[in-house]
Amino acid sequence: MSEHFDVLQVIRNRRSVRQFEPKPVEREKILTCIEAARLAPSADHVQPWRFVILDEPDVKNHFSREVFSGPYRFTRWAMKAPVLVVLLADLNFVVHRLAKVIQKIPYYLLDMGIGGEHFVLQAQSLGLGTCWIGWFNFKRAKQFLNISKGVRICGMIAVGYPASKLIPKEKKRKPLDELVHLNRWGNRITM
């Protein structure tokens, strides 16, 4: 059975959502999003991603008070998201240590970005809104969640049903001819 799925349309429709309906998100939908992230490619196929799902209101609210305070208060809107998913990377892989030294690129961040983007695109296809969060107190989050040594928090994703009053705006994006070079730097594509 072949299922046609317009990925480009999902990408076009995806927005960073910061206002959510006050209703819970079905855990099976969150697990479907994590399954999409699990299937993402990674450097040397080490699959460094780990996830902590915060969907129990009391736990999520306590966590939010810890990590969205002080200089991080500008991210307090995330406290109203029904679900917070913390993205973690297991750093105990030789390929990541070597890449950082030899290539000067922290490959685990690339891996986490790919996995996280799979997550948010799957969420979009399920009618969920998401927003990547990088502005929160990582130290308090690590303490609250009792994260092991060798595991690093890379970000968080707020998840919920978008507030019905939200009207999607057209995304402003640079045209391809500003972004693409053919065969060498400076050879612009013409559209």
Average pLDDT over residues 73-77: 95
- Which is more confidently placed, 96 or 124? 124
- Name the token pair of 160: 């919920």
Model pLDDT, residue 41: 93
Model pLDDT, residue 167: 62
Model pLDDT, residue 96: 67
CA distance 55 to 82: 6
Model pLDDT, residue 161: 96
Model pLDDT, residue 160: 98
Alpha helix positions (H), the chain? 7-13, 27-38, 57-67, 94-102, 107-125, 138-145, 176-179
| pLDDT mean across residues, the chain | 90
Nearest in space to 91 (alpha carbons), one of 78, 82, 100: 100
Top mean pLDDT of 4-8, 35-39, 90-94 is at 35-39
Q: What is the DSSP letter of 149?
A: T
Question: In CATH, which superfamily holds the domain spanning 7-179?
Answer: NADH Oxidase (3.40.109.10)
Model pLDDT, residue 142: 97
Average pLDDT over residues 121-136: 96
Model pLDDT, residue 35: 98
Q: How buried is residue 1: exposed, middle or buried, by Cβ count under 10 Å (0-12/13-18/19+)?
A: exposed
Q: How many CB atoms lie within 10 A of CB 142?
A: 18
Whether 56 has a pLDDT exceeding 90, the answer reads yes
Give the pLDDT confidence of 10-55 residue by residue, as tens digits. 888 889 999 999 999 999 999 999 999 999 998 888 899 999 999 9
In the block, residue with structure tokens 């594509």 = 189
Proportion of the chain above pLDDT 90, given as a percent: 64
Chain centroid to CA 2: how far? 28
CA distance 36 to 55: 19
pTM: 0.89
CA distance 167 to 86: 27
CA distance 108 to 89: 7
Full strand arrangement of the beta sheet holding 83-90: 49-54, 83-90, 151-160, 129-133
Whether 1 has a pLDDT exceeding 60, the answer reads no
Instruction: Give the phi and the psi of residue 89 in degrees, each rounded to 5.
Output: -120, 130
Nearest in space to 36 (alpha carbons), one of 159, 150, 136, 172: 159
Whether 118 has a pLDDT exceeding 70, the answer reads yes
